Amino acid sequence: MIKQTVQEKLLRYVKIDTQSDPTSNETPSTQKQFDLANLLVDELRAMGIKNVEIDEKCYVYATLPSNIPSDDTAFGKVPAVGFIAHVDTSPDTTGTDVKPQIIQNYQGGDIVLPADNNVVIKVSECPSLNKCIGHTLITTDGTTLLGSDDKSGVAAIMTAVEYLINNPQIIHGDIRIGFTPDEEIGKGANFFDVTKFNCEYAYTIDGEMPGEINKETFSANACIVRAYGRDIHPGFGKNIMVNSLRAIADVIAMTPRDMAPETTEGYEPYIHPHKLSGTVDYSEVQMLFRDFKTEGLDVQKQMIEDIVAKVQENHPKVRFEIEVIEYYRNMLDLLEAQPHGLDYLWEAATRSGVEPYWNPIRGGTDGSRLTAMGLPTPNIYTGGQNFHSKTEWCSIDALTKSVETIINLAQIWVEKKR
C-alpha cells in the first residue's frame, strides 16, 4: 500500500506548476507555489491533523502528535523530530503542463520520451537505471521537467504521515512537518521559523537513490560580473563604440575549463557561468562558486578578480563591477557535532533494506541553511535522478524506501529514549 499511495501522491503533485523565479524579490517568488502548499494543508487536515498552518510566505507547518502512552514509564522524554521538503521546482526547465509517464516493470535500456524522440534518458549517462530493473519509473513526456525534485520528498513525507496515522501501533514522538518555497533559488530557509518548528533534529527528503545519505554540501556563493560599454550606430563606431559583450565573452572564455561542472566530480570545486545577458552598452554574467571548503570560495573570488583584471587590459574602456553574494555553507561540522541524529538515520536506512553510505551533495539543500540556523538537518534519498531537466525520472520502488526510512526514523527516535 505504501508504494501505491506514494505513487498516487507524486503523480498528483507533479501536475501542479510550482516553478520559482530567481528574478523576483517576493516570497514566495511565484504565487503558484501556494497551489500545492494549500493542497497539502487540505490533505493534512483531511488526515485528521489539527495543528496545520500556512503563512503568508507559503511555509507550511504541521505536527503529528506523539502517541506514546502517557502512563508508560519505559520512555524518557522523546524529542520532536522534523521532516522537510520544498514545494517549488527549478526555473531551469519549464514545469507547466507536466504529463507524467508511468513505466511499469522497467526492463532496462534507454528510455525515449514520447513527445520528443530527441529527448532520451540514457543508461550511459544514468547508470542508476541498472539498479531499477523491475521498478515502476515515472518520467515526463520530454517537454517539461518532472518535479521529482522535490515533490518526491513531499510525497514521501505525506505518505509516511498517513501510514503512521493508520497504524497507531507504531509508537512515535511528535512529528513535525515542514514544506518550504523557493529552495531552488536559494531562499527556501529565509523565513523558516525554527522556533515554531520546535524540534531537536530534522531531515530534508531531497536526495537521489536509496542508500545515499548526505551530511555535507558545497559551500556556495554567487558572483555577478557586470561590464559597462558604450553603444553607438555601428556605421560610426570606430574609436567610439565600447562593446561590453566582447568583454564579458572574454571573461567567460578565461574561466578555467578544469573547474567547470562538466569536468568535475566528488569533492572537486567548480566555477559555473550559468546565465548571460547583455547588449553592447551593458552585459553581465552570473556565476556559481562551489567548494566543500568554505575558504575555497575566497580563492574563486580572487580567480575571477584576476581574470577581470586581465580582460580589462584588452578592453581598457569597459568598466567592470564584481559582486559576490553569500548563499549557504557546508553543514558537515555542525552536524558531526551532534552525531546521534546521523547515527539514527544510518540505522533507519539499514532497517529499510538499503545499504547506506555518506555521499557529499554537489549542491545544497534547505538543510544547509537550517543547520546553520540551529536545526541540524541532514538529507535523505528520494529515488529521483536527472533533476532540473526534461530527462528527470523517479523510481517509485526507490521512493517507497524513502517512506520506510521516515517511518523507521520515527520509531528509532523513540527507541533510543527507552
pLDDT tens-digit profile of 235-269?
999 999 999 999 999 999 999 999 999 999 999 99
- Topology of domain 2-217+330-415 in CATH is Aminopeptidase (3.40.630)
Catalytic annotation present for 88: yes
pLDDT reported for residue 193: 97
pLDDT tens track for 7-20: 999 999 999 999 99
Q: Which of 17, 150, 182, 183 is catalytic?
A: 183
106 contact partners, CB below 8 Å, separation of at least 6 = 129, 132, 133, 134, 135, 136, 137
pLDDT reported for residue 75: 64
Q: Measuring CA to CA, which residue among 185, 228, 194, 208 is closest to residue 401?
A: 208
pLDDT reported for residue 318: 98
Share of the chain above pLDDT 70, in %: 98
pLDDT reported for residue 268: 96
Sketch the domain layout of the chain as residue ranges: 2-217+330-415, 219-327
pLDDT reported for residue 363: 79
Q: Judge whether 2-217+330-415 and 219-327 match in fold.
A: no
pLDDT reported for residue 328: 86
pLDDT reported for residue 71: 67
Q: Measuring CA to CA, which residue among 228, 261, 262 is closest to residue 246?
A: 228
Domain 219-327 belongs in CATH node 3.30.70.360:
yes
Q: Which residues of the chain, if any, have pLDDT below 50? A: none
pLDDT reported for residue 74: 63
